[in-house]
Structure 1
Amino acid sequence: MVVHVFTSSSSGFVTIKKKQQDVVRFLEANKMKSEEVDIMMSEEQRQWMYKNIPPEKGPVQGNPLPPQIFNRDRYCEDYDSFFESKESNTVFSFLGLKSQLASKEEP
């Protein structure tokens, strides 16, 4: 499974850039298969992201801000939820993945 991280290369907000980098670096450091999707480079990808975030998970006003995280078509949620899962050591279940320990133990 590939985790898709929807980012924005042209965000002027430092906090958004740091959050995007945090997610991408964490996935890389843990050797998780991931793909960064720049919503500024593809209107189609941006619209797909907006359409696939459940209404109850989106912001009250405006569009959802990056980073937004998906496991294929399954919405995992945004940075705040990712951060909480990192702090509680539940990132694998947050992403809908088997833990690395479980996959190493399998024959």
Structure 2
Amino acid sequence: MSILIYFSSAGGSREVKQQQQQIFQFLESKMIKYRTVDITQDPSMKEEMRKKVGSPTAMPPQVFSGDMYCGDFQAFFQAVEEEKGEAFFKL
């Protein structure tokens, strides 16, 4: 399974940037490979992300494992708090 993370590299809030970094750091610390899609580089990627999530207002970061939706930062954070961080990524 390939982990895919939709994220934003431009502007946005400090909180969103920190959330994205926490996900990236978790994956890197576990040596889990992942790919990223920067929704600010191609506007169609934002719409693709929202369609895949099933929410017209979804904001990054959004995480997928293959074709399966894992969740947003809140779901990731809750999984880590429950010591189920790796399970969140459905590997």
Identity in percent: 32
Report the counterpart of residue 63 of structure 2 in structure 1: 69
Aligned-pair distance for 1:36? 1.6
CA-based RMSD: 1.4
Report the counterpart of residue 77 of structure 2 in structure 1: 83
- For the 8 Å contact 1:24–1:36, the answer to whether it is kept is no
Moved over 6 A (4+): none
Deviations 1:61-99 (A, max 9, x none): x621111111122111100000010111112222111xx
Q: Structure 1-normalised TM-score?
A: 0.77
- For the 8 Å contact 1:11–1:17, the answer to whether it is kept is no
Report the counterpart of residue 14 of structure 2 in structure 1: 14
Q: Which ranges of structure 2 fall in alignment gaps of 5 or more residues?
A: none
Q: Which ranges of structure 1 fall in alignment gaps of 5 or more residues?
A: 98-107
Report the counterpart of residue 105 of structure 1 in structure 2: none
Q: Structure 2-normalised TM-score?
A: 0.90
Q: CA 1:43–1:50 in 2, change beyond 3 Å: closer, same or farther?
A: same
Aligned length: 91
Alpha-carbon distance in structure 2 between the residues aligned to 1:73 and 1:47: 16
